[in-house]
Amino acid sequence: MYENLNKISKFVIDNFVNISNYNDMNFELTEEQLAVKEAARDFAQNVLKPGVIERDNLQKFPAEEIKQLGELGFMGMMVSPEYGGSGMDTISYVLAMEEISKIDASTSVCMSVNNSLVCWGLEKYGTEEQKQKYLIPLAKGEKIGAFCLSEPEAGSDATSQRTTAIDMGDHYLLNGTKNWITNGSSASTYLVIAQTNVEAGHKGINAFIIERGMEGFIVGAKEDKMGIRGSDTHTLLFNDVKVPKENRIGEDGFGFNFAMKVLSGGRIGIAAQALGIAAGGLELALAYSKVRSAFGKEIFKHQAIAFKLADMATEIDAARLMVHRAAADKDAGRNYDQSGAMAKLYASKVAMEQTVEAVQIHGGYGFVKEYHVERLMRDAKITQIYEGTSEVQKIVISRNILKD
Ligand code: CAA
Per-residue pLDDT of the chain (404 residues; tens, 9 = 90+): 345 444 444 544 454 444 444 556 778 999 999 999 999 999 999 999 999 999 999 999 999 999 999 999 999 999 999 999 999 999 999 999 999 999 999 999 999 999 999 999 999 999 999 999 999 999 999 999 999 999 999 999 999 999 999 999 999 999 999 999 999 999 999 999 999 999 999 999 999 999 999 999 999 999 999 999 999 999 999 999 999 999 999 999 999 999 999 999 999 999 999 999 999 999 999 999 999 999 999 999 999 999 999 999 999 999 999 999 999 999 999 999 999 999 999 999 999 999 999 999 999 999 999 999 999 999 999 999 999 999 999 999 999 999 86
Active-site choice (283, 370, 387, 391):
387
- Strand duo 248-249 + 233-244: pairing: unpaired
Class of residue 287 by CB neighbours under 10 A (exposed 0-12, middle 13-18, buried 19+): exposed
Report the pocket of ligand 1 as residue ranges, CB < 6 Å: 109, 113, 147, 149-150, 156, 158-159, 182, 202, 256-257, 260-261, 263-264, 337, 386-388, 392, 395-396
- pTM, two decimal places: 0.94
**Minimal-distance CA residue to ligand 1 atom 11:** 257
Q: Are 152 and 305 spatial neighbours (Cβ–Cβ below 8 Å)?
A: no
Q: How far apart are CA 197 and CA 49, in angstroms?
A: 47
Give me ligand 1 centre to Cα 259, in Å.
7
Going through 156-216 in order, the beta strands assigned E by DSSP cover 164-167, 171-182, 189-195, 205-211
387 is annotated as an active-site residue: yes
Cα separations in angstroms, 267 against 7, 20, 121, 190, 317: 29, 24, 13, 19, 18
**Minimal-distance CA residue to ligand 1 atom 36:** 158
Q: How many CB atoms lie within 10 A of CB 103?
A: 27
- Strand duo 189-195 + 145-148: pairing: parallel
Q: Are 95 and 36 spatial neighbours (Cβ–Cβ below 8 Å)?
A: yes
